[in-house]
Structure 1
Amino acid sequence: MNELENMSSSIHREHLIQLAKKYGTPLYIYDSCKIKKQYIKMKNAFSGINNLIINYACKANTNLNILKFLQKLGSGLDTVSIQEVELGLKAGFQPKKIIFTPNCVSIQEIKKAVGFGVRITLDNLSILEQFGEYYPNYSIGIRINPHIMAGGNSKISVGHIDSKFGISYYQIPHMKRILKNTGLKIEGFHMHTGSDILDIKSFLEGAKILFQTAIDFPNLDYIDFGSGFKVQYKKNDVKTDLTSLSHFITEKFKDFCKNYGSKIALIFEPGKFLVSESGYFLVNVNVIKHTTSTVFSGVDSGFNHFLRPMFYNAYHCIENISNPNGRFRFYTVVGYICESDTFGLNRKIQEIREGDILCMKNAGAYCFSMSSNYNSRYRPAEVLIFKGKDFLIRKRETMQDLLRNIVEIHM
């Protein structure tokens, strides 16, 4: 059994090859069954909390059909831009089930969110002060920076002292003064320390700070723990121990509610946890190139479609689904962009031939959503597997898409 099947795939290799032939490559494929399984797993893990809210962090994947599917499952929505807010509303989310938690945006963008009627979380004292001038007595959420270094690497660690995210918990006295001066009310506190968090101590340290902060503010509706759960990227890979985490968080949260004197809601905002493992990215092998030290497998994609390996040094399982029984050899899988775009360095993969189809796993989160038209390449198509059938949910781009917003001038 190969690594793709070892990772509990519900879509078989033959099906992937059929989809590559039907829709062409490069191609994103998402398995709705896996998304539902992850959503239910999260709900079950925290079943001891009566007022649990799961808000999908849609920056992971904003395809409208993915949003609609999660809305049908009962999810709320975590958004970070006014465009994500509008997509959420179009997908059918009720405004009060959308939380807008921007960073370094203008007060004008936040005023638009107020107009849409969504919940708002602020993480900046300057914006908090401006917001209070426009909307005195308004109820908002506050994002706290707990000064905790967590996350898989420095680029996805967002709760440390030098992070641009959140209001430092040392600035709470200043925040209280702004609240008093403006009449603003706090409806909840939010914290997110990073992604790919393996050590649950990071969550517990953050929870302690969040509870200590929240206890001094009456009439809260919720406490929001964000997310950051690590998922499995390869066989026998370690991931966040959700069982242990839920046990500790549930116990501490119930203690907090008892001391607080009110049963408020507990919110999580998973993105990668819900959609990452649902995704497959299929590419065609253009060329096998031998150098003095390396065998390159050059494919019909690059970091314009799949940035995570280059930007985050992220590992994604790569398998040759065209030659599953081939002899294993070592390849460096690279793209067709005129930059150094390496998907996998010196990987042990079944023998690759020109024309083969390679499959990259964990392509559901922060992959298409970070794509671009660099080198004037078209962005790929997306397909959703729903109730056993495949549906095209985004067309492959064409030259018309590249030129749509160009305004030609006569020279």
Structure 2
Amino acid sequence: MNELRDKNFQFHKEYLIKLTKKYGTPLYIYDSYKMKKQYIKMKNSFSGIENLIINYACKANTNLNILKFFQKLGSGLDAVSIQEVELGLKAGFHPKKIIFTPNCVSFQEITKAVDFGVRINLDNLSVLEQFGECHPNYSIGIRINPHIMAGGNSKISVGHIDSKFGISYCQIPHIKRILKNTGIKIEGFHMHTGSDISDIKSFLEGAKILFRVAIDFPDISYINFGSGFKVSYKKNDVITDLTVLNHYLTEEFKDFCKSYGSRQPINLIFEPGKFLVSESGYFLVNVNVIKHTTSTVFAGVDSGFNHFLRPMFYNAYHYIENISNPNGRFRFYTVVGYICESDTFGLNRKIQEIREGDILCMKNAGAYCFSMSSNYNSRYRPSEVLIFQEKDFLIRKRETMQDLIRNIVEIHI
């Protein structure tokens, strides 16, 4: 199609290699075109809901430029720490377009969120009672635990009965008692059951629980379903069917609004993170070594779980392609990093023949990749580049030794 993209709007391999020569490796690249496309797709998928709000779950990728990009699109923000709240304000989000949903944080952090004027979801009876005593005139939302096991694996399932997140829907009488004792007002209800959910039954089951809970509370202004939509990680992968979800959820929501009979419109909120940014991201690494053992051919690259933790932490699959040798014959490799422990990006993968010096591209690197990076083994974190209006912009510089020691206080020993 042009210098950057093919007919499917994917970046040409030559263009990606060009960026590695300009910025070095390892390198994160984000495609703003794909982010916008996903945002519009979600808006269109739920077009039957008049009062739809989409909040970007910024824990997926907190680069300030990406936050600014979604703010310009009209998105709100889902924040889970006071630092994310501050980043959101710095990115230009109005305080009332930020929803702060913390878990196990100090009460001082929640008080700071009150000072910032953002919306707050609470998920603990004790904290709710403290909040009602200290801030009785500040309306808040409640995060409900619906007792639903959902998500791609147990580590990203957060709505089951033993989860630390949310107030059990069986504890609604406790919530009502606290409201009566403190006078605090509830403006909405929130739920998030997990990530990588392909079965829409989980969403619909949770929706029925939220609607059943919310019907007894006057003057709410929103129902918040969080997110968890699954995206494609490989060819013909199963994803969340938003069209089918919309068909059922819209009817359920409209029936609830009719039964609730509110004098004000009730907003339906989604808080996608991975759905909006995962597929926009590319992680490019250089092959340091090819190593043959008695049973395996390793391709060792200039990165590790210090930069890209998901395959090791979640057993997540990320497609790996040799963009330096796209026409090479396929062979089997285990792609590993340079960290001193088990550090495997892909086990026994069928990849175009890999040579030392080749550039490998890992797909779906936009969400929970750089944001979970570290300086383990005293390695520098990589650069980030945003493709915006078909131009490349450096949005985070590669770290240096000075970054590693900046906050060290040396003493005389």
Same fold (TM over 0.5): yes
Matching residue of 2:390: 388
Shift of 1:34: 0.1
Shift of 1:257: 0.4
Amino acid in structure 2 at the alignment position of 1:83: Q
Amino acid in structure 2 at the alignment position of 1:97: K
Question: Does the residue aligned with 2:54 lie in a helix, a strand or coil?
Answer: strand
CA distances 1:126-154 after superposition (whole Å, capped 9, x unpaired): 11111111111321000000000000100
C-alpha separation in 2, matches of 1:75 and 1:35: 12
Matching residue of 2:175: 175
Alignment partner of 1:83 is 2:88: no
Structure 1 segment 236-275 matched on structure 2, within 5 A: 236-262=236-262, 263-275=265-277
C-alpha separation in 1, matches of 2:282 and 2:7: 12
C-alpha separation in 1, matches of 2:173 and 2:7: 48
Matching residue of 1:284: 286
Q: 1:6 to 1:238 in 2, by over 3 A?
A: farther
Structure 2 gaps of 5+ residues are none
Matching residue of 2:23: 23
Please, which of 366, 376, 380 is the counterpart of residue 364 of structure 1? 366
Matching residue of 2:162: 162
Identity %: 87
Alignment partner of 1:398 is 2:386: no
CA distances 1:314-353 after superposition (whole Å, capped 9, x unpaired): 0000000000000000000000000101000000000000
Matching residue of 1:227: 227
Question: Does the residue aligned with 1:293 lie in a helix, a strand or coil?
Answer: coil
Q: Is this contact kept in 2: 1:295–1:330, CA < 8 A?
A: yes
C-alpha root-mean-square deviation of aligned residues, in Å?
Answer: 1.1
Which stretches of structure 1, 4 residues or more, deviate above 3 A after TM superposition? 5-9
Question: Does the residue aligned with 1:257 lie in a helix, a strand or coil?
Answer: helix
Question: Does the residue aligned with 1:346 lie in a helix, a strand or coil?
Answer: strand
CA distances 1:169-228 after superposition (whole Å, capped 9, x unpaired): 000001110111111100000000000001100000000000000000111010000000
Matching residue of 1:202: 202
Alignment partner of 1:298 is 2:331: no
Matching residue of 1:98: 98
Structure 1 segment 49-198 matched on structure 2, within 5 A: 49-198=49-198
Q: Is this contact kept in 2: 1:327–1:351, CA < 8 A?
A: yes
Please, which of 342, 345, 349 is the counterpart of residue 344 of structure 2? 342
Amino acid in structure 2 at the alignment position of 1:149: M
C-alpha separation in 2, matches of 1:355 and 1:258: 63
C-alpha separation in 2, matches of 1:241 and 1:226: 16
Q: Is this contact kept in 2: 1:137–1:182, CA < 8 A?
A: no
C-alpha separation in 2, matches of 1:13 and 1:358: 10
CA distances 1:262-309 after superposition (whole Å, capped 9, x unpaired): 330000000000000000000000000000000000000000000000
C-alpha separation in 1, matches of 2:185 and 2:99: 16
Question: Does the residue aligned with 2:151 lie in a helix, a strand or coil?
Answer: coil
Matching residue of 2:333: 331
Q: TM-score of the superposition, structure 2-length normalised?
A: 0.98
Matching residue of 2:213: 213
Q: Is this contact kept in 1: 2:56–2:77, CA < 8 A?
A: yes
Q: Is this contact kept in 2: 1:149–1:193, CA < 8 A?
A: yes
Shift of 1:10: 2.6
C-alpha separation in 2, matches of 1:200 and 1:370: 28
C-alpha separation in 2, matches of 1:93 and 1:62: 14
Please, which of 352, 355, 358 is the counterpart of residue 353 of structure 1? 355
- Which range is displaced more, 305-314 or 135-144? 135-144
Question: Does the residue aligned with 1:298 lie in a helix, a strand or coil?
Answer: strand
Q: 1:389 to 1:61 in 2, by over 3 A?
A: same
Shift of 1:7: 11
C-alpha separation in 2, matches of 1:321 and 1:7: 17
C-alpha separation in 1, matches of 2:84 and 2:137: 26
Matching residue of 2:317: 315
Shift of 1:363: 0.2
Question: Does the residue aligned with 2:53 lie in a helix, a strand or coil?
Answer: strand
The count of residues paired between Structure 1 and Structure 2 equals 407
Structure 1 gaps of 5+ residues are none
- Which range is displaced more, 28-37 or 125-134? 125-134
Q: Is this contact kept in 1: 2:6–2:12, CA < 8 A?
A: no
C-alpha separation in 1, matches of 2:383 and 2:267: 38
Question: Does the residue aligned with 1:142 lie in a helix, a strand or coil?
Answer: strand
- Which range is displaced more, 8-17 or 63-72? 8-17
Question: Does the residue aligned with 2:295 lie in a helix, a strand or coil?
Answer: coil
C-alpha separation in 2, matches of 1:340 and 1:6: 36
CA distances 1:213-250 after superposition (whole Å, capped 9, x unpaired): 00001110100000000000011111001100011111
